[in-house]
């Protein structure tokens, strides 16, 4: 009985770990689909413009922009999940041992100063920033570029979607700020269940609300991590107000995003290797080679 309960608990735990990823995927594609509908069907608003050449070019540009952002979000997220941030495969012994090193009794190995054990991932993570509950994986030295790029395109995509959904808010509030319109914006689920609105009105209101709330949350995450990137800090180091590993603005960009830091934002397919001393710096805290 105990073995059966353990198996059930293990399956439920694995399901809960993948649930945030599935929910985020559903929301991203739902927002993209709704914005595509707004572009193709609802816009432009003027009837005499709907069949003009300008309208066709306008729609094409909007569709290209939004699917460029969607592609970057999905590809960066996939690479983030596939890139292990753990210390597996990193040589941590020899002359690198020094001040600030600790011994992890769980992993049974010495770990450098910026490395810490994650009890969710069950492994030590090199330059661990935090465990991202939305992806179910730690953010560390190896996958930070993909995490930050994904945040960038999520932020720009949600900004774009919020602006495109401005017309939805205008339509809802067209007859004034009434109790019905306010409740539709604040609690669309209850309005749908109670039969006060149609499924179509609910879908538009729910996605418009999701765009605004998501934009505010992602803005906070993105600009906070941009601030940490410029300062050469991790979230853990920010809590303690320490900056012992800052290499200056340009050095921090190169060390985190690679030598092509100015191009890697455009696509995860653009190679941007970290300078050869990157791993050495994370392990030893020094850019000087070991002797």
Give the pair of three-digit tokens for residue 36: 């595509």
CA dist., res. 244 & res. 233, Å (int)? 8
Instruction: Quickly list DSSP for 54-123.
Output: HHHHHHHHHHHHHHHHHHHHHHHHHHHHHS--BSTT----GGG--TT-EEETTTTEEE-TT-EEETTTTE
Would you give the distance in Å from CA 55 to the centre of its chain?
33
- Does 212 fall in a domain? yes
Catalytic residue among 132, 138, 150, 264: 132
- Does 104 fall in a domain? no
- Does 128 fall in a domain? no
Question: Is 268 in contact with 146 (CB distance < 8 Å)?
Answer: yes
> Active site includes 132?
yes
The number of distinct structural domains making up the chain is 1
- Does 112 fall in a domain? no
Residue by residue, pLDDT tens for the chain (291 residues) are 567 666 666 677 677 777 888 888 898 999 999 899 888 887 655 555 555 655 788 888 899 999 999 999 999 999 999 998 888 766 555 555 667 788 888 888 888 888 889 988 889 998 999 999 888 899 999 899 999 999 999 999 999 999 998 888 887 777 677 787 777 788 888 888 888 888 888 888 889 999 999 999 999 999 999 999 999 999 988 888 777 888 889 999 998 888 899 898 898 988 888 775 556 566 655 555 444
Instruction: Quickly list DSSP for 230-290.
Output: HHT--HHHHHTT--TT---HHHHHHHHH-TTTTTTTT-TTS--PPPTTHHHHHHHS-SSPP
- Does 168 fall in a domain? yes
Question: Is 150 in contact with 218 (CB distance < 8 Å)?
Answer: no
- Does 20 fall in a domain? yes
Range of the domain at 227: 7-84+143-263
pLDDT of residue 289: 45
- Does 94 fall in a domain? no
- Does 43 fall in a domain? yes
């Amino acid at each position: 009985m105990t073995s059966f309960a353990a198996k059930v608990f293990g399956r439920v735990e694995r399901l809960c770990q993948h649930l945030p990823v599935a929910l985020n995927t559903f929301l991203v594609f739902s927002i993209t689909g709704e914005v595509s509908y707004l572009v193709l069907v609802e816009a432009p608003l003027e009837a005499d413009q709907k069949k003009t050449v300008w309208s066709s070019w306008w729609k094409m540009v909007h569709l290209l922009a939004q699917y460029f952002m969607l592609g970057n979000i999905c590809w960066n997220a996939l690479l983030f999940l596939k890139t292990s941030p753990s210390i597996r495969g990193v040589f941590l012994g020899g002359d690198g041992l020094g001040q600030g090193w600790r011994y992890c009794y769980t992993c049974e190995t010495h770990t450098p100063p910026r490395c810490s054990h994650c009890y969710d991932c069950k492994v030590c993570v090199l330059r661990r920033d935090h465990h991202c509950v939305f992806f179910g994986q730690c953010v560390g030295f190896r996958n930070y570029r993909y995490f930050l790029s994904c945040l960038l395109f999520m932020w720009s995509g949600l900004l774009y979607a919020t602006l495109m959904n401005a017309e939805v808010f205008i339509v809802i509030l067209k007859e004034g700020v009434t109790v019905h319109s306010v409740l539709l914006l604040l609690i669309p689920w209850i309005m749908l269940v109670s039969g006060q609105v149609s499924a179509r009105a609910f879908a538009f209101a729910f996605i418009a609300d999701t765009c605004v709330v998501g934009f505010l949350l992602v803005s906070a995450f993105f600009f906070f991590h941009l601030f940490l990137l410029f300062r050469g800090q991790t979230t853990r180091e920010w809590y303690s107000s320490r900056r012992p590993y800052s290499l200056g603005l340009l050095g921090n960009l190169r060390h985190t995003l690679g030598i092509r830091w100015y191009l890697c934002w455009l696509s995860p397919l653009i190679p941007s290797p970290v300078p050869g001393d990157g791993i050495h710096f994370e392990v030893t805290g020094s850019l000087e080679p070991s002797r």
